[in-house]
Amino acid sequence: MSGTLLETTIDYNRPGTQLGVLAVPQSTNSSGWRSEFIPIAVINGAPGPTALLFGGNHGDEYEGPVALTNLVRALDPAQLRGRVIVMPMLNRPAVEAGTRLSPIDGKNMNRAFPGRPDDSITGMIAHYVSSVLFPLADLVVDIHSGGRSAHFLPSVNMHRVPDDDQMRRMIAAAMAWGAPYVFIYRDVGGVGLLPGEAERLGKVTLGTEMGSASQFGAEIVTMTERGVWNVLRHAGILVDRTPDRPATTAQVVAADQYDDYIMAPVSGIFEPFFEMGAWIEAGQMIGQIHSVEQPFAPPVRVAARTSGMLMSRRAFPLTRQGDNLATLVRPFELGSS
């Protein structure tokens, strides 16, 4: 029906917990009839809504794989009024290689949606998610972090979807996570995102940016894990107890203009002038870029074109022209945009 070539032993309707894989057909020089195994778990409780949880969409973002495999080991079907489907390493080849993109076909899973059944491996997996799993889902969670390239203030994020009711339900679910920020972003890095496709289908969809690779520690992993548990409780799927009350209410912020995303005008070594969370006025210099080829030439200073709070900053100093150096956000209220 979906035309997918992926095979699985998972029965999405069987009660209880099933641990398995999606087998993606591959043919390589050393193995003519190979399958790439992508892990999947299904935990079915009493009848109710379905949550789809993804980690490892980008391979160098490990908060999702850790939080979601911990979750699968801990979830008891008796605590569920609904179903939880977990793919903790959606782009498993990239997770194993420690790379953002797939080492097999060089593609970005989060630009491959909705995918095609006859695509290379990344698009085949995206197509399975779009055609088989999305139709089952009420709630979609896709856990990201800054990976190698960016520092982020920890946030649950989403696009500004056109349907205000869907937007309201998404913000409410995001607030239940308990992260300090709810971040509404634009697609400055291209289209074909997993959350974008789920949002388009009307699902309550949450992405995240949980810190960055160099900040991977107990605090951020706990925030990721506790957030997933809280969102499952908020959705009424996990009925063990009421959600944790967040210690502080999340600030809802948005980077709704292209100019909020500051790209490097030249290549070189980026020296930032501000710490994360600082408020920056339009026209202020956010940092400067030192030339490697002309080290004693004056560095190129980079100005903010809008005013806002520093939500993300490039993590690795060596920068190529066009790389995102910083993202500025302002408070967001539904109805004001």
Minimal distance in Å, beta carbon 91 to Zn ion? 10
* 334 closest CA partner among 184, 139, 147: 184
Minimum Å distance from CB 10 to Zn ion?
25
Give the DSSP H/E element, type plus range, for residue 232: helix 218-234
Query: Residue 296: which H helix or E strand, with range?
Result: none
Instruction: Report the alpha-carbon distance of residue 224 to residue 209 in Å, rounded.
Output: 10
Min separation Cβ 88 and Zn ion, Å: 14
Cβ atoms of 127 and 107 closer than 8 Å:
no
In the complex with Zn ion, the residue whose CB is nearer, 58 or 234, is: 58
Which residue, 82 or 146, has its beta carbon nearer to Zn ion?
Answer: 146
Interacting residues with Zn ion (CB under 5 A): 58, 61, 144
Region of 206 (left: φ > 0; alpha: ψ -120 to 50; beta: rest) is: beta
Task: Kindly tell me which of 54 and 332 has the beta carbon lying closer to Zn ion.
Answer: 54
Q: How far is the CB of 256 from Zn ion (least distance, A)?
A: 20
User: Rounded to the nearest whole angstrom, what is the least distance from the CB of residue 270 to Zn ion in the complex?
Assistant: 20
Decide if 115 contacts 133 (C-beta within 8 A). no
Compute the distance between CA of residue 155 and CA of residue 152 in angstroms, rounded to an integer: 8
CB 140 within 8 A of CB 154: no
Whole-number minimum distance, CB 143 to Zn ion, in Å? 9
Nearer to Zn ion, 61 or 225 (CB): 61
Kindly state the smallest distance separating residue 208's Cβ from Zn ion, in Å: 9
Q: Residue 315 carries which DSSP code?
A: S
Beta strands per DSSP E along 45-80: 46-54
Nearest to 96 by CA among 39, 23, 30, 164: 39
**Residue 128 has which token pair?**
């399975």
Q: By C-alpha distance, which of 174, 170, 209 is closest to 189?
A: 209
Residue for token digits 């949002």? 199
Shortest distance in whole angstroms from residue 107 CB to Zn ion? 14
> Is 229 within 8 Å of 221 (Cβ atoms)?
no
For residues 42-60, one letter each, b for 16 or more C-beta atoms within 10 angstroms of the residue's C-beta and e for the rest, the string is bbbbeebbbbbbbbbbbbb
- Which CB atom, from 24 or from 213, has the smaller least distance to Zn ion? 213
Nearer to Zn ion, 58 or 233 (CB): 58
Of 108 and 230, the one with the shorter C-beta distance to Zn ion is 108
80/109 with CB nearer Zn ion? 109
